[in-house]
Amino acid sequence: MKEFENINTNLPYKESESYVDALVERSKETARRHGQVINRSLLFSLAGLAAAAAIVLAVVIPLRRETVQPTGSPIEMFLASITDAEAAMIVDWPIEDIPE
């Protein structure tokens, strides 16, 4: 342990300690700002991705609902596919005798 007691405590460079401290603080501040830029760009990327997903869902979900076919008997499926005006025409259709 005696060999460590005689170690020179001078710094290996000629600049003052205040200069070195200021350099360290500037470096930390630059690193902090760089980290904020990365976080901000990540936030914008995620916001853009969320907006794109919302637009896709807003377009796809209504289209998907229109293509859903009703289930049930053929008569129910037919009645679900016609308008009220067409249904009224069917009700008012004159019944004719079936030819033999």
Q: State the Cα–Cα distance between residues 92 and 88, nearest whole angstrom.
A: 6
| Summary mean pLDDT of the chain | 77
pLDDT of 5 over the 80 cut? no
Would you say residue 13 has pLDDT above 70? no
Tokens of 100: 């033999």
Residue 11 binned pLDDT confidence (cut-offs 50, 70, 90): low
Contacts of 68-73 with CB under 8 Å at 24 or more apart are none
What are the domain boundaries of the chain?
14-91
pLDDT at 50 over 90: yes
CA dihedral 10, 16, 20, 26 (to 10 degrees): 180
Rounded-to-5 percentages of helix, strand, coil across the chain: 70, 0, 30
pLDDT digits (tens, 9 = 90+) for 51-93: 999 988 888 777 665 555 657 788 888 888 888 888 888 777 7
Q: Enter the pTM of the model.
A: 0.33
